[in-house]
Amino acid sequence: MPSVYLQTFGCQMNAADSNGLAHQAWSMGCTFAAQPDEADIIIVNTCAIREKAELRVYGRLGQLKGIKERRPQAKLLVAGCLAEKDRAVMRAKAPHVDALLGPREYRRFKELLGSWGVPTDAPPPQTDFVMPSLEDDPGRDGAHEFAHLRALVNITRGCEKFCTYCIVPYTRGPLESIDPDEIESQVRREIRCGAREITLLGQNVNSYYWEEQRLDFADLLLRVGAIEGLERLTFLTSHPKDFNPRVVDALAQLRNVEPRMHLPVQCGSNRVLQTMARLYTIEEYLDKIAYFREHLPRWALTTDLIVGYPTESEADFLATLELVQRGTFEYAFIFAYSPRTGTPAATMDGQVPPQEKIRRLQAVNAAQNDVTRRFNESFLGECVRVLAQGPSKKDPSKMAGKTGHNTTVIYPRDDRTKSAPVVDVIAEQAFSWGLAGSVAEPAYV
Ligand code: 5AD
Ligand code: SF4
């Protein structure tokens, strides 16, 4: 049977899509290869959110060229957002690619494998499906034996917000909500397979709506949160415009929800928010999070920020910096604006020079690091419960995992901890990247 190598770039949506593709390949009898040299079919699931992501993908495709030259019968499939965005130019940029499948075309995956000689009528495999360990995989960034502890479950697909800087609505198409019965059965399946944490996933989960049952995101949270055996529930990602207090009320009712919420603000200036077409003011955003803070104390609020958006003035930038310095967010993903061909912002006047974007990025990063470190320090001496990810990448003699706040924790690796899925750790040192500590006694769940 053919073997498949799969590499994923980009966001958790891509990780979830890769999981789906791997599952389909497995159901057709394919096996998985750890290295592209050993594979008959090489799949690269790609990202187009910023130029850097694209460059990484093209770099990887360049490396894979050698394999195609040595073994022309091996097939190379490019999936994901870059396949959709660069459909017209991929042939010129990477002529050794055999096929492209955009995020809305995965229904054609089996047919494509069939055209490459994989039998489409094979009986279901006798082995269990085990997601292959993937390099660079954002959703499964832990070691292989810990990967099944975290599961990503899509609840919406696509996005129709058309923020002026963003390529996603063009690559992933309009918003679609997924049948709640299907969501529920997938969550149950993942729990049966050992998942301790379920992430409900969508570009904008707050827009979730299932007409037949008049079910919105708050209702869905309550329904999924009630599933037996579900230890930890979380979700990604939200748009502040559609975020409403009912979601906070639902979260406050659930005992198995992790104490964190991601609500991308993008910037602190109303003028920039308006040109970004974000559809809220900073005051409205702050009002919403005031309700969140009041009802969900000691939760972590995380956000995305873009600096150097076209026309962003020093005053606009300082508004973002000040928002961060005030300690609004426990953690932030901060990006320099990257023009995406085909989006309105890419051709706007007033593009900010690269050096200036880097200066602003560094300033906001430094300010957020201070805030994050202080947040982490607030756990010193406390016992934190950690969901393991595997040996630390930086120091494999230690283990790494995440708390419910999504804080990275490093703890000793020994005979007991090396395979324990959940560990209680006493936080002894705090950094901007996370916590380090020793194992509490009694330690395990
Ligand atoms: N440049 C920089 N950052 C971007 N994002 C989306 N598009 C761009 C772009 N063109 C960021 C936003 C979004 C996150 C997923 O990526 O902050 O929330
Ligand atoms: Fe992109 Fe805006 Fe949609 Fe988020 S909400 S995926 S930033 S268009």
Residue 165 CA: which ligand 1 atom is closest? 10
Residue 266 CA: which ligand 2 atom is closest? 7
Fold of 3-115: Rossmann fold (3.40.50)
Residue 397, judged by CB atoms within 10 A of its CB (0-12, 13-18, 19+), counts as exposed
C-alpha dihedral, 377 to 332 to 405 to 47, nearest 10°:
-140
Domains in the chain: boundaries: 3-115, 138-377, 383-444
Assess whether pLDDT exceeds 50 at residue 6: yes
Q: Quote the pLDDT of residue 444.
A: 66
Residue 343 CA: which ligand 1 atom is closest? 10
Segment 265-282 shows an average pLDDT of 98
Q: Which CATH class is domain 383-444?
A: mainly beta
Segment 320-341 shows an average pLDDT of 98
Fold of 138-377: pyruvate-formate lyase- activating enzyme (3.80.30)
Residue 278 CA: which ligand 2 atom is closest? 2
Q: 442 falls in which pLDDT band (50, 70, 90)?
A: confident
Q: 365 falls in which pLDDT band (50, 70, 90)?
A: very high
Assess whether pLDDT exceeds 80 at residue 136: no
Assess whether pLDDT exceeds 50 at residue 140: no
Q: Quote the pLDDT of residue 148.
A: 86
Q: 139 falls in which pLDDT band (50, 70, 90)?
A: very low
Segment 133-153 shows an average pLDDT of 68
Q: Quote the pLDDT of residue 124.
A: 78
Q: Which ligand is nearest to the CA of 12?
A: 1
Q: Quote the pLDDT of residue 121.
A: 84
Tell whether ligand 1 has an atom less than 6 A from the beta carbon of residue 307: no
Q: Which ligand is nearest to the CA of 262?
A: 1
Tell whether ligand 1 has an atom less than 6 A from the beta carbon of residue 243: no
Q: Which ligand is nearest to the CA of 352?
A: 1
pLDDT tens digits, 21-75: 999 999 999 999 988 999 999 999 999 999 999 999 999 999 999 999 999 999 9
Tell whether ligand 2 has an atom less than 6 A from the beta carbon of residue 376: no
**CA 115–ligand 1 middle distance (angstroms):** 36
Tell whether ligand 2 has an atom less than 6 A from the beta carbon of residue 263: no
Share of residues in the chain with pLDDT > 70 (%): 96
Q: Quote the pLDDT of residue 126.
A: 79
Which of 165, 273, 312 for a ligand 1 pocket mutation test, highest count of atoms within 8 Å of Cβ? 165
Mean pLDDT of the chain: 94
Residue 172 CA: which ligand 2 atom is closest? 6
**CA 106–ligand 2 middle distance (angstroms):** 21
Q: CB–CB of 233/260 below 8 Å?
A: no
pLDDT tens digits, 385-437: 999 999 998 899 999 999 999 999 999 999 999 999 999 999 999 999 999 99
- Total residue length of the chain: 445
Tell whether ligand 1 has an atom less than 6 A from the beta carbon of residue 340: yes
* Residue 303 neighbours by CB under 8 Å, 6+ apart: 262, 263, 264, 265, 328, 329, 331, 332, 333
Tell whether ligand 2 has an atom less than 6 A from the beta carbon of residue 333: no
Share of residues in the chain with pLDDT > 90 (%): 90
Q: Quote the pLDDT of residue 127.
A: 78
Residue 162 CA: which ligand 2 atom is closest? 8
Assess whether pLDDT exceeds 60 at residue 154: yes
